[in-house]
A = this chain, B = another copy of it.
Amino acid sequence: MGKHTPLVQKLIDALRVLPSVGPKSAQRMAYQLLERNREAGLQLASALHSAMTKVGHCQRCRTFCEGQICQICAHPIRGQSSLLCIVASAADLFAIEQTGLFAGRYFVLRGQLSPLDGVGPTELGLDALSQQLGQGKIEEVILATNPTVEGEATAFYIAELCRKHRVQVSRLAQGMPVGGELEFLDGSTLSYALSGRKPF
């Protein structure tokens, strides 16, 4: 009889879709909500439902947005910026916004090139990007895709697109993470740090 009741099992299975939630923690989550906080469980159900059905994407930069145009694109100054930062996801956009150091606008790819998974230029919205570049208002594109094979391939592809439109391109610096310890760095990060060294 070491079995959960059907609805509890269904809840445990459903919780597994959350990142880094294994069977043990899914069970702990389900039992804790059922035993101590059903009201919060119902609130979570309704917040999930609203977000999944009502959060859309900005028509211009494709980040999460509950209307047609996001706050950044709608901003009188930032929305007209000639500096365009290209990120792989809305989460990456949020991380850059958190630094408070970037005052331009964004284009969110919502993925990175991965031909084997069927993710090509169309899926990433590169036609829309190309169109924006063609309007001649963008002077510099910052490629902020991940420092991974797919991120690099995506950056490479977009860099070509920029050159075609005679738009300047830059890439986020790669090197030692702040606070990282040199002896624990992986080899390729260390080579980037070495070859990209700067006068001190």
Bound form: Cα–Cα A35–B63 in Å = 10
Interface residues on A, range: 35 or more
Does A116 sit at the interface, judged by CB under 8 A? no
B28–A44 contact, CB under 8 A?
Answer: no
B97–A55 contact, CB under 8 A?
Answer: no
B5–A34 contact, CB under 8 A?
Answer: no
Taking the closest CB of chain B, its distance from the CB of A151, in whole angstroms, is 16
A25–B34 contact, CB under 8 A?
Answer: no
Bound form: Cα–Cα A164–B26 in Å = 41
A11–B97 contact, CB under 8 A?
Answer: no
Residue in B35, B45, B55 whose beta carbon sits within 8 Å of that of A90 in the complex: B35
Does A178 sit at the interface, judged by CB under 8 A? no
B97–A31 contact, CB under 8 A?
Answer: no
Assuming A17-B40, A18-B29, is B64 touching A51 (CB within 8 A)? Answer: no
